[in-house]
Structure formats: C-alpha cells, structure tokens
Chains A and B, each alone.
Chain A
Amino acid sequence: MRRFLAALLAGWLTLLFSACSGESINATEGARRKILLVNNKDDPRWLDLHRTNSVVENNIMLALHEGLVVEGATNERDPDPGIAASWQSNPEKSVWSFQLRPDARWSDGNPITPDDFIWSWQRLLNPKLAAEYSGMLFIVKNGREIFEGKLPADQLGARKTGPHSLEITLTGPTPHFPQVLCHSIWCPLARHCLEKYGDPLSALNPWTDDGKMITSGPFRLKTYLFRRYLEVEKNPHYWDAATVKLDGIRFYPITSEQTEDRLFRRGQLHITYNVPLDKAPTYLHDHPDVIVNDPNLAVRFYRVNTKRKPFDDARVRRALGLAIDRQSLVDNVLRENQRPAFGVVPPMDGYDEVKGFSFDIAEAQRLLAEAGFPNGQGWPSNVKLHIADSERAIQVAEAMQAMWQKNLGIRIPIRMEDYNSYLSSQQHMDYDISDAGWNADYYDPATFIDMWLTDGGNNRTGWSNPAFDKLLEESGQCTDAASRLATLRKAEALLLSEAPVLPYYYYTRTRMIHPAVVGWTKRLLDDRMWKYFDLRYPPPPSSMDGELRRE
C-alpha cells in the first residue's frame, strides 16, 4: 500500500512539473526586462492574418504585421507611412501609387517587395481561402469578380510599377482610401514562408507556428502556448526597429474580468482588457491615474424588425426611440462615461453627430397615439426585447423596459438567449427589437452607415429606402471629401428619421494601466501602435501603490 501511494505521488509530481510550462513574469520584472504584459481576453482563433476577424486577433496582428500605411501615431485619422514611404493618387482618387521603402525587410531579413503585397491580396480574395474579411478588398478593381471566381487572380487592380513601387486601381473615387488601408487585413504575408510549409490556402498549413512564422511588423512571434500566453519579441529586421522600445509583449487569454482584476492588483499584469462592471465606477473615482477610460468608435443600438407589426409603422419605431432617456441611462446604469447616442455614427474628427433623436416624451406619446396606441392602449403583448445573456445587456434592457413603461405606458418583456442563438435569431430576423453593437473597421463614417443598405448582410431589420440607397451611391461618386461627408450626413439623417435602428450609447473602453507603462494614447479605433510603447523601471508611484508596490 505504501509503495502504491509513493508511486502515485511520484506520478503526480512528474505530471506537475511537465504540465507547468512557460515562465511567470510579474509587472515589475516585466518592466525591467521591457516585456509588456497585456490581457487579450481570449486565444486567437487564427494566427493566419487573412482568416482573422476579431478584436482579439487584431491586437496581435498589429504587433506582427505592418501594411503600406499605418494609423497615425498622434492622429489616427491621418495615416503615417508604413512599408510605403510615400503615396499619391490621381485627381479622381481612384488610382493610388505607393513607393515602398527599399530597406523594408521580413522578420527573416528578406526584402519585402510589391509582389508580396499583390500575392497576399490575391490569396485573400481566393474563394478557397474563405476569408471573412475578403470583402474589404472589393473596392479594388476586379476584387469582387476574383472572389466570385469570374476572373482570374492576376486581373486584380494592383500592379508592380517598379522594383519598389506599386499601383492600386479602385472601383471608383475613394478619397478615404489611406484610412481604409490602415486596417491590418491589407498587410502583406510572406509568400516564401507560406509556400515552404505546404499549400498556402490550407487551414492546416503550419506556417503560423512559433519558430516558423515570418512577418513584416515591429514584432515577431516568439512563443505560443495555447490557453497560457502568446509572446512576441522585437523584430530586429523591422525597418524602424530603432523606434521600437519594448523587447516583447505577452498576450494573456484571461476571459474572466474578475480574474484579470485580481492579477492586476497582485502586480502580474500591465494592461487589462476591461474592468469588472461593478468596480469601474469606484476605480474611476479612486484611481483616476491607473484607470483609462477612452471614447471608442463604436455604437450600441437596438434593431427594430420593420417586417413585424406594429413596427412596420415608422411612427411606432420613432416613438420608442424618443422615449429613451439616454443621459440618465449613461449616468445611472452604465456609469463608465459613455456618451448618449442620438445618431448611428459616433462623433469623430470631421464628422459631427447627426442628432436624429432626442428625449421628447410628448412627441413620443403623440406619435404612438397617432399610430393607434394612445397611452399604450392596445399594445400587443407578444412584442419582446431580444438580448444576449450578458450582464450589461440585461441591466440596460431592464432600464429600457422601465422607461418605455413609464413614458409610453407599454410593457415589453425581455427575451434572452445565449450569444450564439441570439446571433442566429438576429440573422434570421426572428425578433421584434434586438440589441446590437457595431465597431468601426476604419476611421470613416461610412463603416456605420452603409450597413443599412437594402438587403445589406448587416441590415437585418428589413428596412429599405431607395432614397437612402441612392444617397450612398452618390457618396461613392464624390471625389472630394467634404461633399462626400455631407452626402453621408444626409443619408444618416434619413435613416434616423425612419428609425429602423434606435442608437442609445457610444462606447468607451475602460482599462487598468500599470504606472510603468509609457505610450498609452487615446485612440477612437482602439488599435494599439505597439511600437511606440515603453516601460519605465522602476515604475513611478501611483494611487494604487498600496496594492501594486508590495512585491
């Protein structure tokens, strides 16, 4: 018996020491070694750039890859040169040429050429790759046709015009093309790396494994331990390596907000992904120097199913939208300095908010009465508010329910589903009113407006207005930025007047940042330019030292 137990213990210990992998670094040690410790919420689903589609993946891609241009270091709307040192367009803004840096190198030291870009875009558009973000390249001439298999890949409107120059022909005038190009999906992939390890289109090609992956950005992949962490290290071949101050970044896949909060307070993280809902207001008050709370280019709204009664009547939809006290919602329920949303496009540089809604109970009651529900009488009892099972969505839905009840006299029960079922119901328009959010892909209002086109894949409200579609088409013909934005504003105003969508707040992102971190800037798109980050050692004092400094 004793021998049996000893054998069990020995087996357990062997297992223990073999299963503990990776190395634990605390925040102070990380600051000394210049390794930034970031919680990234989850494991990336893919490390193959072209297959990525989430914020989690994008945060890692921004460290590993660089495209022709990158979001500006100081103003994200004003792109900085990336692998392209300079660029010009024709007067119609439909043909763009780029001059690549002759010293641009892959992380293995090989030069980055115009052919690498063209090959990458052709791969992204290959229907066999089935890349979700392939649609981003449909603005390139023949991009859509190649994706649909109607034209061969070499017909893409992108060609090499010299050993270091590249020309892109678009389907029409696109004055905001440099902003679109900042999206990581446009970054080049190393053809020689993908082809070395097998079929470049195969999902099983191991080119993204640590030790194999070759990339173009300020960092390169060092270690990936599933469910433990992903670490990148400084890329010595990067053209601007002198600017890169960090030696590495570690991305942790911690899903629980409470756990990341505890890790931060124990001094084991530099940057959290979130702050627990119940703690954010206290931290904002007590530790303003450790917490960052930045506006984000994203909007929260309810979709209204215009194919169902009583929402086929625009007056009913408007009435619901006007009866929401957004300011009170933001101040009393959300409490993370979110801004009340009266339009679908968050305020951004060059585009002021279109205030399509206001808080106007009298007008709301009048519209509802006109539509046949005076004081809420005769309101159908089967109308439900559809949400996913998240803590925040529930809090908001309950507040909305109370406001509609109080201001309009209508009772709308809540229908909650798990996230995947909720998405499915929304896609199949199996809802009355459904909660949703939208993040900007790039710095431009169109990313929030063109989703409402007739039969657009993200419309999902059944709403359609030929005048709106026409305005958007016109905006696509504008060669000058100001008239384009004016047309988009008109379209947004029209959309809000018919209210198939009820916006209610613009997001903020709240995070804890360790005092050692240098280089955090407010960015509406929340894309982190990792190459500008630095760590100070020893970390300066902060209001959380009682907790952080006890190491």
Chain B
Amino acid sequence: MLRFIASRLLQSAAVLLAVFTMTFFMIRLAPGDPFASEKSMNPDVKKELERQYGLNENLSVQSWKALSSYGRGDFGLSMKNQGMRNGKIIRDSFPVSLIVGAAALVVALAIGLPAGIIAAVKRNTWLDVGPMSLAMIGICLPTFVMGPILIAVFGLKWRLLNVAGWFEPTDWILPAATMGLSYAAYISRLARGGMLEVLSQDYIRTARAKGVPGWLIIIRHTLRNGLLPVAAFLGPALAGITTGSFIIEKIYNLPGLGQHFVSAVFNRDYTLILATTVLYAALLVAMNLVADIIVAWMNPRVRLSS
C-alpha cells in the first residue's frame, strides 16, 4: 500500500511538470496578449509593461523562472488584476468554490444514490422508470437552464433566497442545488447500472436461496460492489466540483475559482492561467489517487501494486 502511494506520488510529480510546461507554452501560442485593448498602445508603453512582467525574456528563461518561483510557493503576479498575486486570488476564491462544491456533492449523493439503488432493486417498475427519466432530463438540462429556473422560482417568485451574490450564509443553497442536481443525475444512473450488474450475480442468488432477507442482501452483499462505478466517478468529479464552475459562478455572481479558469484565458492572463491549471491538475491527480484507494478498499480483488 505505502509503496503504491509513493510510486503514484512520483508519477504525479511528473504529470504536474508536464501540465506546467504544456500550459506555459500553449497559452503563448494563442494570438493576442494580456495588454490588448480596443485603443492602440504606445509601443514604448507596451515594451515597458512587457519588461515589468518579464515577458521580454526568452520563453525558456521565462518558463524556468516561473517554475522555480512555483517551487518557492509563489504563483506569480496576475496580469489582469492590479498588482494582485495569483496565490491571493486562489486563496480568496477557492473556499467559495469548496463550500458550494461540497454542498453540491451532498445534494448529488443524497438524491442520486437512493434513486439509483431503488431503481435497480425495483427494476422496470414506476420507481425505476420515473426517477431514471428525471435523471435523463437532469443530464440533458444544462446548468445555465436549471439555474435560472431555480432562481425564478425560489428567488424571484417566492423571494426566499437571494438571486445572486455571496453575502449571506444562505447564498450557497441555490448554486449548490443547481450543481448538485446535474451530478445527482449522473450518480443515480451509475449507481443503478452498478447495482443491476451485481444483483444478477450468482452469489446474490445464492444468498436469496439461503433465505437472507431482501434488504440485508442489498446492504450487506450488493452495495459495496454495486457502488464501485460511483466511487470511481467521484474521484475526478470531486476535483471539478470543488474548483467551481464558470457558468454557475456567472449566473450567481459568486466570487469563486471557476470563473478564473475561463476569464484568465480570454484575458490572456498568462500567469493566472498557469496557476489555475496547475492547481486543477494537482487536485485531479490527488482525487484520482484517493478514488483508487477507496475502490481497492471496496473491492479486495483489486490489488494495489506499483
């Protein structure tokens, strides 16, 4: 186990280095620059700005400097947000995304798991068809439709919650619900599929033949194996869910991290793109590792080995 984790950590470092390098160079290939505006800029002004942000140097020198400052834990200076350090931008916005993401995950699991399990057990009854049709709608309905619907009902019609902003301790509810519902749809379908496969196994039939009660079969014999696909899905999903969503943050005007992934690219904020991408990659790698460990714990047939 320890050897497995150690080797995975080593691989992760290599992955992160590759992500860092590729992001660094790829964003420079895009046309445009961080100082572009409708009005033309005096060439002297532009040269001086490029000097101040170190953009006048050779690209490989720049990438080495950026890498060594990452080594020191300094994610550089944002080019779009006045004199702000990228580290501070991430520190400010990540908690917001984490709060909403964690709540969304709870919503997703609380709705998705029972719906999927019941649908599998009561296969081909209305308890299966009803929730699974809803889940299909949930998968098809993008968040930018779901969000405004929830806002129209809970914000504008019943006036229970704020329609946007991040001030009151209830402001996470609508964004978390919007995000959670779409994930719930995925999770319920994954759970149903996994459970169905296990329910048709011989050992379940054996248990039934021995006279084990139905609910005990589900809880003791089916769940652990049946929910493996959900556990495997949750690893990478967790990285996405906790780093925020551009669309949800835009709809609800949240000061989260998700918006920076997209707006930094539009603004050609080279340093911020690098910081957010590396952070996301690191989370993704970490969550995948956690998911692997959980899957191994749930399924002893998987051997953790390097």
Of A20, A127, A457, A460, which one neighbours B168 at CB under 8 angstroms? Answer: A20
Decide yes or no whether B84 CB sits under 8 A from chain A. Answer: yes
Q: From A204, which residue of chain B is reached at the shortest CB distance?
A: B83
User: Considering the chains assembled together, what is the distance between the CA atoms of A418 and B95 in angstroms?
Assistant: 30
Residues from chain A with Cβ under 8 Å of B259 in the complex: 227
Indicate with 1 or 0, residue by residue over A46-57, a CB within 8 angstroms of chain B CB atoms: 111001011000
A259 in contact with B164 (CB, 8 Å): yes
B255 in contact with A458 (CB, 8 Å): no
User: Considering the chains assembled together, what is the distance between the CA atoms of A254 and B77 in angstroms?
Assistant: 23
B167 in contact with A423 (CB, 8 Å): no
Give how many B residues have a beta carbon under 8 Å from the other chain's beta carbons: 56
B166 in contact with A53 (CB, 8 Å): no
Indicate with 1 or 0, residue by residue over A193-232, a CB within 8 angstroms of chain B CB atoms: 0000000000111101000000000000000011110000
Decide yes or no whether B57 CB sits under 8 A from chain A. Answer: no
Residues from chain A with Cβ under 8 Å of B98 in the complex: 15
Question: Which candidate, B1-9, B148-156, B224-232, is the interface stretch facing chain A?
Answer: B148-156
Indicate with 1 or 0, residue by residue over A10-28, a CB within 8 angstroms of chain B CB atoms: 0010011111101110000
A424 in contact with B81 (CB, 8 Å): no
User: Considering the chains assembled together, what is the distance between the CA atoms of A456 and B39 in angstroms?
Assistant: 11
- Other A-B contacts than A45-B82, A147-B44, 15 sampled, CB-CB below 8 A, are A20-B171, A22-B166, A24-B168, A132-B41, A134-B42, A203-B77, A206-B83, A255-B253, A256-B250, A259-B250, A262-B164, A263-B165, A263-B253, A423-B36, A427-B40
Please give the distance in Å from A265's CB to the nearest CB on chain B: 6
Can you list 9 A-B pairs with a CB-CB distance of less than 8 A? A22-B167, A46-B82, A130-B52, A206-B83, A208-B82, A227-B259, A263-B165, A419-B266, A425-B31
Decide yes or no whether B172 CB sits under 8 A from chain A. Answer: yes
A262 in contact with B155 (CB, 8 Å): yes
B171 in contact with A43 (CB, 8 Å): no
Decide yes or no whether A135 CB sits under 8 A from chain B. Answer: yes
Please give the distance in Å from B261's CB to the nearest CB on chain A: 14
Give how many A residues have a beta carbon under 8 Å from the other chain's beta carbons: 68
Residues from chain A with Cβ under 8 Å of B268 in the complex: 420
Residues from chain A with Cβ under 8 Å of B250 in the complex: 255-256, 259
Quick one: which of A8, A17, A263, A458 has the most chain B CB within 10 A?
A: A263
B82 in contact with A228 (CB, 8 Å): no
Of A23, A51, A268, A418, which one neighbours B163 at CB under 8 angstroms? Answer: A268
* The 10 residue pairs across chains A and B that have the minimum distance between CB atoms: A457-B40, A420-B32, A227-B255, A24-B167, A130-B48, A424-B32, A46-B82, A19-B95, A424-B31, A421-B31
Q: Which of A239-277 contact B (CB under 8 A)?
A: 252, 254-256, 258-259, 262-263, 265-266, 268
Q: From A126, which residue of chain B is reached at the shortest CB distance?
A: B48
Decide yes or no whether B293 CB sits under 8 A from chain A. Answer: no
User: Considering the chains assembled together, what is the distance between the CA atoms of A457 and B38 in angstroms?
Assistant: 11
Known interface pairs A227-B92, A262-B155, A263-B165; A423-B253 also in contact (CB < 8 Å): no
B168 in contact with A420 (CB, 8 Å): no
Known interface pairs A227-B92, A421-B31, A457-B40; A131-B83 also in contact (CB < 8 Å): no
Known interface pairs A20-B169, A227-B93, A458-B40; A420-B31 also in contact (CB < 8 Å): yes
Decide yes or no whether A550 CB sits under 8 A from chain B. Answer: yes
Of B31, B96, B162, B169, which one neighbours A266 at CB under 8 angstroms? Answer: B162
Q: From B35, which residue of chain A is reached at the shortest CB distance?
A: A132
User: Considering the chains assembled together, what is the distance between the CA atoms of A130 and B46 in angstroms?
Assistant: 7
B251 in contact with A258 (CB, 8 Å): yes
Indicate with 1 or 0, residue by residue over A320-344, a CB within 8 angstroms of chain B CB atoms: 0000000000000000000000000
Decide yes or no whether B108 CB sits under 8 A from chain A. Answer: no
A20 in contact with B167 (CB, 8 Å): yes
B45 in contact with A263 (CB, 8 Å): no
Q: From B94, which residue of chain A is reached at the shortest CB distance?
A: A19
Decide yes or no whether B122 CB sits under 8 A from chain A. Answer: no
User: Considering the chains assembled together, what is the distance between the CA atoms of A252 and B168 in angstroms?
Assistant: 16
Please give the distance in Å from A523's CB to the nearest CB on chain B: 21
Decide yes or no whether A449 CB sits under 8 A from chain B. Answer: no
Of B93, B253, B255, B267, which one neighbours A420 at CB under 8 angstroms? Answer: B267
B156 in contact with A19 (CB, 8 Å): no
User: Considering the chains assembled together, what is the distance between the CA atoms of A265 and B152 in angstroms?
Assistant: 11
A268 in contact with B92 (CB, 8 Å): no
Known interface pairs A132-B41, A266-B155, A437-B38; A43-B163 also in contact (CB < 8 Å): no
Residues from chain B with Cβ under 8 Å of A227 in the complex: 92-93, 255, 259
Residues from chain B with Cβ under 8 Å of A436 in the complex: 38
User: Considering the chains assembled together, what is the distance between the CA atoms of A133 and B44 in angstroms?
Assistant: 12
